[in-house]
Amino acid sequence: MRTKQKLFLLLLLFTSALTFTFYSCSSPTNPDLLPSVSLTVDGVTSTEAFIKLSTNNVSLPASVALSRNNKQINN
């Protein structure tokens, strides 16, 4: 009788550990799916700078506000 209880307890612990292992695993976030924004200089004159804004995995419509010295510079 004692052996059956030990076997049952061992089986219960093994099953619990196995269940916990399967349910606690999750797939990591793919870094390619994270949204990103890049701002590059496209051209420069003596009074102007032309910039290029590129987005990746950004849901549209999105709003962009450019600021310089805490003042918004785009209209």
In a domain, residue 18? The reply is: no
Domain count, the chain: 1
Helix (H, G, I), strand (E, B) or coil at 75: coil
Phi, psi of 16 (to 5 degrees): -65, -45
In a domain, residue 20? The reply is: no
For residues 56-60, give the mean pLDDT.
83
In a domain, residue 42? The reply is: yes
In a domain, residue 24? The reply is: no
| Integer Cα distance of 75 and 72 in angstroms | 8
pLDDT at 30 over 70: no
| Integer Cα distance of 65 and 10 in angstroms | 62
In a domain, residue 60? The reply is: yes
With cut-offs at 50, 70 and 90, classify the pLDDT of residue 75.
Answer: low
In a domain, residue 28? The reply is: no
In a domain, residue 27? The reply is: no
28 cis-preceded (ω within 30 degrees of 0): no
Domain that holds residue 40: 34-72
